[in-house]
Structure 1
Amino acid sequence: MAREQIKVPFGYEPPAQTHKGTVFVFETFEDWTESDMQAFVAWAEAKKFVRAIFYPQHEETLRRMDISSSMPYYARVKQLESLVKQVNTTVQVDVDTWEGKRKKYTPMDTSLHFLTEKSSGPYFLCLSDRYANLFVTYPAFKEWIKTLRLYINEQFHVPLHGKLNEYAQRWEIVRFGNGS
């Protein structure tokens, strides 16, 4: 297949990209309120993300991660979808329910591979502080921290894992929702 030639004037430089890629949000979402969603959307708009994907996790995944959840998966998804419908934003906000279709434990590595294959980069991952402490202990963390930038929401005010200090240039603390 022949390449199509494009003519541009001498000295042309493409305009700088003003919007970033996709942010993935891993959480239980059972305690998110409308104000939490508004705070997240305001933060995402300030960071100029193109897309935000909320990824609620199945009970089996949460159980294996030792994270308690009082609401079943589908109730959390339904609540999250109603919050997403109420929000007015320039960021494309989606809820991914792939893990609900699997109905079993899904490792974070598998979930991230699935999400990055169907979304455009660059990639950002937003986790609560308790999720971040778990994520840093997984063997795939070293691979993923090179691929994406990590945003840690201080929602539960737990001390962060010491291993995060090795990658200090690849993550930062954010405050929105229940963490503010």
Structure 2
Amino acid sequence: MAREQIKVPFGYEPPAQTRKGTVFVFETFEDWTASDMNAFIKWAEERKFVRAIFYPQHEETLRRMEIPSKEPYYARVKHLEALLRQTTTTLQLDLDTWEGKRKKYTPIDTSLNFLTDKTPGPHFLCISDRYANQFITYPSFKEWIKKVRLFIINQFHVPLHGKLNDYAERWETVDLGNDDA
């Protein structure tokens, strides 16, 4: 593949990139409120992300992951669309409904492969604490923790899996201020 030649003036320094990467948000989204969404947007803007992709998961995927969900997939997507319409931000917000088109169980590594192939990096994964405890038990976790940086939302206040300590430099917790205490 041939390289494109670009002409620049002598001494040109490209401007430093101030925005970085894409954050993927894996959740059921059925219990998210406008304040939760605003807290997430504020956090993402402070982190200077370029794009946030919300990825609601199908009921079959949630069932196999043993994550409870009261609402069907389409209702959660409508709820999330309404939340996104109410939000004003400079961040590019996208809703990916690929899993809804599949209408079946989709492993998390398949979803991550799909999302990372179609979006520019670096990539970040934002999941709740109960998702993190499930994700760490998968054999593919060791490969994915090297490819994406993990942000764990303290949403359900469950204790985190002990194996996460082995990868302490690749993840951090996020408190969006949505606790009811």
Query: Shorter chain as normaliser: what TM range?
Result: over 0.9
Give the equivalent residue in structure 1 for 2:107.
Answer: 107
Alignment of 1:102-141 (within 5 A): 102-141=102-141
Shift of 1:130: 0.5
Q: Deviations over 1:26-75 (max 9, x none)?
A: 00000001111111101111111110000000000000000111101000
Gaps in structure 1 of 5+ consecutive residues: none
**In 2: Cα distance, 1:177 partner to 1:32 partner:** 12
Shift of 1:15: 1.6
Alignment of 1:1-180 (within 5 A): 3-176=3-176, 178-179=178-179
Shift of 1:13: 2.8
Instruction: Check 1:166–1:123 CA distance in 2 against 1; reply closer, same or farther (3 A cut).
Output: same
Identical counterparts, % of pairs: 77
Q: TM-score, normalised by structure 2?
A: 0.94
Q: TM-score, normalised by structure 1?
A: 0.95
Aligned-partner SS, 1:66: coil
- Partner letter of residue 137 of structure 1? T
Instruction: Check 1:179–1:20 CA distance in 2 against 1; reply closer, same or farther (3 A cut).
Output: farther
**In 2: Cα distance, 1:65 partner to 1:2 partner:** 45
**In 1: Cα distance, 2:169 partner to 2:116 partner:** 21
RMSD: 1.5
**In 2: Cα distance, 1:10 partner to 1:134 partner:** 53
**In 2: Cα distance, 1:11 partner to 1:134 partner:** 51
Aligned-partner SS, 1:32: coil
Aligned-partner SS, 2:178: helix
**In 2: Cα distance, 1:4 partner to 1:111 partner:** 33
**In 2: Cα distance, 1:5 partner to 1:39 partner:** 43
Aligned-partner SS, 1:55: strand
Instruction: Check 1:160–1:148 CA distance in 2 against 1; reply closer, same or farther (3 A cut).
Output: same
Aligned-partner SS, 1:50: strand
Aligned-partner SS, 1:178: coil
Q: Deviations over 1:69-126 (max 9, x none)?
A: 1101000000000100110000011111000010100000000000111111100000
Shift of 1:7: 3.7
Shift of 1:16: 1.2
How many residue pairs end up in the alignment? 180
**In 2: Cα distance, 1:177 partner to 1:87 partner:** 17
- Partner letter of residue 25 of structure 1? V
